[in-house]
Amino acid sequence: NAGVTQTPKFRVLKTGQSMTLLCAQDMNHEYMYWYRQDPGMGLRLIHYSVGEGTTAKGEVPDGYNVSRLKKQNFLLGLESAAPSQTSVYFCASSYSYLTDTQYFGPGTRLTVL
């Protein structure tokens, strides 16, 4: 039982490049979330999903796209990376929407030059 895993752990991009972050959970959770954390800040919700095939915008969705083609996977895409997207990205999952324990992945540190 791996819980929530994220791939990759680190990545460096140049401005304008694209990439996809993968989040996988093996707990059969319906709800999955993508957050970003900037230095000295709490987490900010980018996008979330309430089930396979569904996605919704969070607090800071601009510049990101997401997909939930399989229940266990939640992908976060950056189509044209910008330096403002330099951050640590966390994925989380839970049984119910924000009223239950969220389980977090280890994070992906992304630097955009």
Partner 1 sequence: GIQVEQSPPDLILQEGANSTLRCNFSDSVNNLQWFHQNPWGQLINLFYIPSGTKQNGRLSATTVATERYSLLYISSSQTTDSGVYFCAVVWFRDDKIIFGKGTRLHILP
Where does this chain bind partner 1 (CB under 8 A)?
Answer: 40-45, 58-59, 88, 90, 92, 97-104, 106-107
Cβ distance to partner 1 smaller for residue 64 or 90:
90
Give all strands of the β-sheet with 73-78 in edge-to-edge order. Answer: 4-7, 19-25, 73-78, 65-67
CB-CB neighbours of 24 under 10 Å: 19
Closest contact distance (angstroms) between CB of 62 and partner 1 is: 15
Cβ distance to partner 1 smaller for residue 61 or 63:
61
Closest contact distance (angstroms) between CB of 15 and partner 1 is: 25
Closest contact distance (angstroms) between CB of 37 and partner 1 is: 8
Cβ distance to partner 1 smaller for residue 22 or 45:
45
Cβ distance to partner 1 smaller for residue 78 or 90:
90
